[in-house]
């Protein structure tokens, strides 16, 4: 099956490659139905994936920290608005730049009736978080 790449996705791919500066190492590779650009630093790696599915481009932005392998940034969306995709790319790169001095944030959730806390802790657990998983979320009842 032939991969169909839109003009917008091709132009955006080229734009992403041109954003390289001396703080990053750039690598490119192609998998079955995707093109990938990796920006590497000493602290973390960012991966920008262009997934070509049903005449659409599904973008994935991901940053993994090297010291513990934790995914510290993840976003996926359909490439419909290149300017918005550029803004999101800039946010991801800003996060990548700050991984050298990134700290883990611990969150304590509590409320008097535990309704809000239970809801938020449940959502955190659905995403693989929770106090038992070492994600820094501690849920409790006052």
Contact 45, 36 (CB under 8 A): no
Q: Which residue's entry shows tokens 């790319």?
A: 89
Count of beta carbons in the 10 Å neighbourhood of residue 63: 23
CA distance linking residue 80 with residue 63, whole number of Å: 22
CA distance linking residue 76 with residue 74, whole number of Å: 7
Q: pLDDT of 37-48, one tens digit each?
A: 999 999 999 999
DSSP string of 58-84? EEEEEEEETTT--EEEEEEEE---HHH
Q: pLDDT of 59-95, one tens digit each?
A: 999 999 998 999 999 999 999 999 999 999 999 999 9
Q: pLDDT of 103-132, one tens digit each?
A: 656 666 566 666 666 666 666 666 555 444
Question: What pTM was computed for the model?
Answer: 0.68
Per-chain mean pLDDT for the chain: 81
């Amino acid at each position: 099956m032939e991969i169909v790449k839109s003009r917008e996705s091709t132009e955006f791919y080229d734009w992403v490659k041109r954003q390289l500066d001396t703080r990053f190492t750039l690598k490119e590779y192609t998998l079955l139905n995707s093109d990938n650009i990796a920006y590497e630093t000493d602290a973390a790696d960012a991966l920008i994936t262009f997934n070509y599915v049903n005449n659409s481009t599904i973008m994935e932005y991901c940053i993994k920290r090297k010291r513990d392998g934790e995914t510290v940034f993840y976003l996926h969306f359909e490439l419909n608005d290149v300017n918005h995709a550029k803004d999101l790319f800039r946010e991801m790169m800003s996060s990548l730049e700050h991984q050298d001095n990134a700290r883990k944030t611990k969150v304590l959730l509590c409320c008097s009736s535990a309704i809000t806390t239970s809801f938020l802790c449940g959502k955190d657990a659905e995403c693989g978080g929770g106090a038992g998983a070492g994600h820094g979320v501690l849920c409790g009842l006052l």
